[in-house]
Structure 1
Amino acid sequence: MNELALKYGCNPNQPEAKIRMKDGSDLPITVLNGRPGYINLLDALNSWQLVKELKEATGLPAAASFKHVSPAGAAVAVPMSDVLKKIYFVDDKPLSPLATAYARARGADRMSSYGDFAALSDVCDKETAALINREVSDGVIAPGYTEEALAILKAKRKGSYTVLQIDPSYVPAPVESKDVFGITFEQHRNDAKITAELLTNLVTENKEIPDEARRDLIVSLITLKYTQSNSVCYAKDGQAIGVGAGQQSRVHCTRLAGNKADNWFLRQNPKVLSLPFRPGIRRADRDNAIDVYISDEYMDLLADGIWENTFTEKPAVFTKEEKAAWLSQLTGVSLGSDAFFPFGDNIERAHKSGVSYIAQPGGSVRDDNVIATCDKYGIAMAFTGVRLFHH
């Protein structure tokens, strides 16, 4: 089959949508269940490229959680602590390596991942399918599924859950094109390889990047390669912990991603772990409540008494001083940027979220200021020489 009709395009007022192979060859994807939409397929094809590259670069099973053609999370299969399992709501399930990667990808920014499209680098097993099954998600793409996994996923959403299988040997043509306002754009597709070789040009006084940080920088850069630009990604322990996508200003990317990284770490605080939720509260409602609890809005909402249906008792306030003290323990974070940092203010913000290692293209007229700011905090920074804009 070289063509697949879709319900509609990006919006219902854009009918007659479809995907097709221009050369008349068969599509490399097969719909095993459900009916994918236009945005579903954009998410699926971008996320598949991301996890495929992560697997090739690290040798580890990889997963991604996509929303609106940018990753909410991406990860490789690094074992998790009991605390991470708890905040990702997977402490009650057996975890295969692929399920571990998926739990990390989905758990990094659970609010953004709500209603996502998932991608898996390896054949989906029953452990991974069981995790996907209980999340609010639009679909999944993988190179294959075990019989048990496919049965679980086909039953999701009353049988309407989208399950896509992609041919892992498919290689697209080197030149890609798209139409904008009736005009066709063509370019050589971005086939730049993200490897540890990109991290050898260390321009700071600190020239030590341990192996785990190199892995995390690779995770960050490959994630950025499929994130709508401008974009910045914080990573730790084999996963993205904060992605700032599509901002016009780079420092706003750095702040947005940094705030997400902060929230990821704050969720691991004992006060958050011990929140007295009422029995039966849904995971999505817990996510929303936790997000507000660790925000500066909590005091106002506490006074409004809206928590009676969520908690068995009013949680103790998580003060600004307590949050600052907890965040001061976050270190060893890796950060990637899809283009150069124009000013040192990005480094100042990154430092506040525990960044110790940075990879960015370099090439700003203010590189000296950016390097000096890194040196002030002992941050090791590599110039990759490779820009990763994605639009």
Structure 2
Amino acid sequence: MKTYELKYGCNPHQKPARIHREDRDLPFKILNGNPGYINLMDAFNSWQLVRELKGTLGLPAAASFKHVSPAGAALGLPLNDTLKKAYHVEGIALTPVACAYARARGADRMSSFGDWAALSDTVDTATALILKKEVSDGIIAPAYTPEALEILKTKKGGKYNILEIDPAYEPEELEPRKIFGITFEQKHNDIHPGFTHLENIVTQNHALPDDARRDLVLAMITLKYTQSNSVCYVKDGQVIGNGAGQQSRIHCTRLAGDKADVWYLKQHPCVLSLAFREGTGKPEMDNIIDQFVRNDITDTERAAWKQYFDTMPRLLTPEEKREWLNGLKGVSVGSDAFFPFRDNIDRAVMSGAQYLVQPGGSVRDADVIRACDEYGIVMCFNGIRLFHH
């Protein structure tokens, strides 16, 4: 298949629409469904991310994409009981591939609602069972077990989008695109962020443990496929906050930090013990939990909880939240371009940042390094900008 006709482009009024190749077949098969324009943009960007994570870090990888940026990305590391409960995967015999997707989706479940999933490895039954219970638009992977494929084909009334990508496919070196009828061309972004990009430590503290090195590489690769500007927080082999598509660097840092805080607050015992009324759906639970941990919940929002609880739960005080957040430590943070001011460091530290990687090159690099030294944290200059548009 060299051409695939789409229902429409970004919006229903944008017809006709298609994807195509001139010289050879498209490098994927549609095993089920009828993916759209944005679906396929998410599919091909997310596949590149998980393929690169697996190739660089040697572990199964997963991503949860929405609107051409990852809401989450993760490696297939085991989950403790707290995360299993927070991610709604209790009672499932988790494989490494399933753990990777549970972590990727668990990073920001609000943003992952209706996501596009990507897996670096064969999708197995455990992963399919997780996806079966989630609101998701589609999935891309190099292969599926027969049982997993049958489970996924039952989603969305049999219309769930399932793509099988050729893992050997490589794009041409030159990438063309058109904007306003004008053709742009650039070399495919073939730089591979890795451990060698962590060698230039510019702070007084040089202590960079292996787990932090892994997490910084995960942050860099995630940033490579995130709409710029972007800042990414990572802990224990998974993204916990991704600040995508902001015009201001500090807004990226704040957004990602706020998401990381919410991720950690969702593991608070008061959250895990919320006694939802039987029959409450996962999307409703996720919405209420998000409101529960925020500081700006309205009286109207809280009043709507009555239909989901027999006894209304007590809200955490700001002091209780801060005390809990003080336990968030050892976070790795990456930025797709340099930090222009120390305020980014000050904000990142509030969400447990201990290890940072960024290109460097700001006229205020000395101020930023000084801020890191004041906090006793580690920062690497990788010398590579990772803008993605």
- Scaled by the length of structure 2, what TM-score is found? 0.99
Are positions 1:248 and 2:250 aligned together? Answer: no
Tell me if 1:66 matches 2:65.
yes
Find the aligned partners of 2:269 and 2:326 in 1 and give their Cα distance: 15
- Aligned to 2:307, the other structure's residue is in SS state coil
| SS of residue matched to 1:265 | helix
Match of 1:374 among 372, 375, 378: 372
Between the aligned partners of 2:376 and 2:317, the Cα distance in structure 1 is 29
Aligned residue type for 2:299:
D
When structure 1 is superposed on structure 2, of 339-348 and 306-315 the one drifting more is: 306-315
**Could you tell me whether the CA contact under 8 Å between 1:299 and 1:317 is conserved in 2?**
no
Deviation at 1:155, TM superposition (A): 1.2
Measured at CA, do residues 117 and 299 of structure 1 come closer, stay the same or move farther in structure 2, by a change above 3 Å? closer
Give the drift of 1:299: 6.6
Give, in angstroms, the shift of residue 187 of structure 1. 0.3
What is aligned with 2:353? 355
Displacement of 1:129 in angstroms is 0.8
Q: What SS does the corresponding residue of 1:365 show, helix, strand or coil?
A: coil
State the distance in 1 between where 2:237 and 2:269 align: 23
Return the alpha-carbon distance in structure 2 between the equivalents of residues 298 and 109 of structure 1. 18
Report the CA distance between 1:133 and its aligned residue: 1.0
Could you say which residue in structure 1 is the equivalent of 2:215?
216
2:14 is matched with 14
Equivalent position of 1:328 in the other structure: 326
- The residue correspondences of 1:1-391 to structure 2 (distance < 5 A) are 1-22=1-22, 24-298=23-297, 300-301=299-300, 305-391=303-389
CA offset digits 1:266-286 (Å, max 9, x no partner): 000111111121111101100
Q: Distance in 1 between matches of 2:156 and 2:93?
A: 23
Q: CA deviation at 1:194?
A: 1.2
Q: 1-side partners of 2:62 and 2:212: how far apart?
A: 19
**Counterpart code for 1:198:** H
1:128: how far off?
A: 0.6
Aligned CA RMSD, in angstroms, stands at 0.9
| Letter matched to residue 319 of structure 2 | E
Per-residue CA shift, 1:111-156, capped at 9, x if unaligned?
Answer: 0000000000001111111111111000000001110011111111
SS of residue paired to 1:308: helix
Write the distance in 1 (CA, Å) between the matches of 2:131 and 2:45: 19
How far apart are the structure 1 equivalents of 2:161 and 2:274? 35
Q: CA deviation at 1:310?
A: 1.2
Report the Cα distance in structure 2 between the residues aligned to 1:264 and 1:272, rounded to whole angstroms. 11
Matched position secondary structure for 2:369: helix
1:301: how far off?
Answer: 4.3
Per-residue deviation at 1:297? 3.0
Residue 173 of structure 1 aligns to which amino acid in structure 2?
Answer: E
| Partner SS state of residue 116, structure 2 | strand
Letter in 1 for 2:21: M
Structure-2 separation of matches of 1:244 and 1:299: 24
SS in 1 for 2:196: helix
Report the Cα distance in structure 2 between the residues aligned to 1:284 and 1:92, rounded to whole angstroms: 19
Q: Is the 8 A contact 1:174 1:189 kept in 2?
A: yes
For the residues of structure 2 that align with 1:28 and 1:216, how far apart are their CA atoms? 30
The one-letter code matched in structure 2 to 1:28 is P
Q: Residues 329-368 of structure 1, C-alpha deviation per residue, up to 9 Å, x if partnerless?
A: 1100000000000000000000000000000000000000
Amino acid at match of 2:332: S
Question: 2:306 is matched by which residue type in structure 1?
Answer: E
CA distance in 2, matches of 1:100, 1:6: 33
SS in 1 for 2:304: coil
Give the Cα–Cα distance (whole angstroms) in 2 for the partners of residues 8 and 28 of structure 1.
21
Gaps of 5+ in 2: none
State the secondary structure of the residue aligned to 1:111: coil
Cα distance in structure 2, aligned partners of 1:363 and 1:252: 19
SS at match of 2:306: coil
Query: Which secondary structure does the structure 1 equivalent of 2:228 belong to?
Result: coil
> Do the aligned partners of 1:63 and 1:74 also contact (CA within 8 Å) in 2?
yes
For residue 306 of structure 1, report the CA deviation from its aligned partner: 2.4
- 1:358–1:205 distance in 2 versus 1, CA, 3 Å: same
Tell me how far apart the structure 2 counterparts of residues 226 and 272 of structure 1 sit (CA, whole Å).
32
Q: Structure 1 residue 91: deviation in Å?
A: 1.1
Q: Show CA shifts across 1:63-109 (max 9, x none).
A: 00000000000000111110001000001211010000000001110
- Please say if residues 33 and 163 of structure 1, whose CA atoms lie closer than 8 Å, have aligned partners that are also in contact: yes
Contact map agreement 1:335 1:358 (CA 8 A) in 2:
yes
1:300 Cα offset (Å):
3.0
Q: Secondary structure at the match of 1:148?
A: helix
C-alpha distance in structure 2 between counterparts of 1:111 and 1:359, whole Å: 27
